[in-house]
Amino acid sequence: MDDLELFRKAVTLLESEQAVALVTVTATTGSTPGKVGYKMLVFDGGKGTAGTVGGGLIEAKMIGEAAGMLDRPARRTFAFSLGETPDDEKGICGGSIEFVVETFDTSALPVFAERIHAAEEDRTQSPTVILCGAGHLSHFIARYARSVHFRVIVCDDRSEYANAERFPDAEKIIVQGFERVFDGMQVDDHSYIVIVTRGHTCDQVVLEQALKTPARYIGMIGSRRKTLTILEKLRTRGVPQEQLDRVYSPIGLAIGAVTPEEIALSIVCELVKIRRLGDEPPVDHMTLSRREGHP
């Protein structure tokens, strides 16, 4: 649940005359489960929550603290050290974390109206996944991408596939031919184009147009053989090699994905990786065998 959804939930609660508490992570050092900006609503005496500030026992502690403040508007700061022993109930993350808890009654409705407006403006600058193709795989890509705070646009020439019922996570659905897929659409360096149409011909049509845009990411599903065939066709059509080199294909991180859900997950993992790290090499995982003192 992103900030916009959280603030809208707060308005709904306040309009029903329920007090709400907003818990926000405001500072961290070292390793912590919650990161700066994480938010959570607490309501109904602590029995109701929305959002998260990292989970675990620290979040449970903050729910209790927030619930105890719901009787009146107030603001308090809480700080915790997580660098205790492994047996300590605070965990073993090893960092420190600070929260601010604010409680509101119905008089705060204008405050949340302003926050909703600001969040809506921020969302227009959020990274956008443009899904070209509305098949089964795209359904899962849209769901996962939305859960990690990408806006989602779905494009296909079949209304029986590209519709709100199949894509409830899409902010916008465009039904038109692939040869005009980007007409009237703002594609910029916050855009991530994912090409998963129903066939090679449509993939090539979309890819040729995508390469004319400044999109941050252009990925096309398919085998290496298919990819090389399409790239060679575009090269013969005069597309410069430096443009062809922008294409990520085969698409997705190598996680051994087999099912549509796993393949979609690998694709969204790649989008997050490009968003956060760019073209940096993958980060090695720490395992016991690589730690000092182990063979």
- Per-residue pLDDT for 83 more than 70? no
Helices 260-277 + 136-147 axis angle, to 10? 40
Q: What is the pLDDT of residue 187?
A: 94
The secondary structure of the chain as a DSSP string is --HHHHHHHHHHHHHTT--EEEEEEEEEESS-SS-TT-EEEEEGGGTEEEE-SS-HHHHHHHHHHHHTTTTS-EEEEEEEE--S-TTSTT-S---EEEEEEEEE-GGGHHHHHHHHHHHHHHHTTS-EEEEE--SHHHHHHHHHHHHTT-EEEEEES-TTTSSTTT-TT-SEEEES-GGGTTTT----TTEEEEE--SSHHHHHHHHHHHTTS--SEEEE-S-HHHHHHHHHHHHHTT--HHHHTTEE-S-S--S---SHHHHHHHHHHHHHHHHHHTTPPPPPPP-GGGSTT--
Q: What is the pLDDT of residue 103?
A: 97
Average confidence (pLDDT) over 149-164: 94
User: pLDDT (tens digit, 9 = 90+) per residue, 114-145?
Assistant: 999 888 877 667 799 999 999 999 999 999 99
Which domains, ranges and CATH numbers included, belong to the chain? 3-120 (no CATH), 126-277 (3.40.50.720)
- Per-residue pLDDT for 183 more than 80? yes
- pTM greater than 0.85: no
Average confidence (pLDDT) over 265-288: 81
Tell me the chain's radius of gyration from C-alpha atoms: 23
Q: Which residues are 276's β-sheet partners?
A: none
- Residue-averaged pLDDT of the chain: 90
Q: Which residue has the higher pLDDT, 255 or 294?
A: 255
244 — pLDDT class (breaks 50, 70, 90): very high
Q: Which residue has the higher pLDDT, 100 or 33?
A: 100
- Per-residue pLDDT for 182 more than 50? yes
User: pLDDT (tens digit, 9 = 90+) per residue, 200-229?
Assistant: 999 999 999 999 999 999 999 999 999 999
Average confidence (pLDDT) over 170-199: 93
How large a percentage of the chain has pLDDT more than 90? 76
- Per-residue pLDDT for 284 more than 70? no
